[in-house]
Amino acid sequence: MPKGLKENSSTIVISGSTVEGAANTFQELELPLTLNVLDREVFVVTAIDLNMSLPDADVANNETLVRGSLSSTSRTTVGTIADTNVFGAGRNVIVSDVALGQPVGIYSDSSTESPHAQLSYIAIISTNNFFAQVLGTGNTRVKAIDFRIWGYRAIASAEVFAALTQSELLSA
């Protein structure tokens, strides 16, 4: 258990998905956590699972991709793990040559789906919601991100809550 936090729930699982409104169009979904901020309640993320749609493989001589992310604040782009407000990100890429009748390269990467054995959590969310983003590039069909988050509610000490909230809001 991180210092300054006292667990006040058992494990909670949150699942969801978001779909582009049109092919290659950024889409963001806001998910409420309904935290009790008066009691300094936070959400401690212990594991995540991200599944993005496969990019289109039938686009001739093209690289198509699907990127997705989970963040503690709203974004105008899909984030990467280099962004301080992003706690999960992934990407699927297909390089195609329709003349050959098949993709010539398929690549996938994502942030770790559970913390390293030495870590007790992936992220701590101190505001009342989190966000899921998806964006395809070079596709002819809409793409989606499905996700599952495991975590628990905790009460933070006053100084920890203030620091977490300020840090989260400044990372937006």
The enclosing domain of 54 has a CATH number of: 2.60.120
Q: What is the pLDDT of residues 29-82, one digit of tens each?
A: 999 999 998 999 999 999 999 999 989 877 766 788 999 999 999 999 999 989
Q: What is the pLDDT of residues 123-162, one digit of tens each?
A: 999 988 999 999 999 999 999 999 999 999 999 999 888 8
The total of structural domains in the chain comes to: 1
Which contacts qualify for 159-165: CB closer than 8 Å, 24 or more apart? 159/4, 160/3, 160/4, 160/5, 161/40, 161/42, 161/126, 164/42, 164/124, 164/126, 165/126, 165/127
Q: In terms of residue numbers, what domain contains 104?
A: 5-170
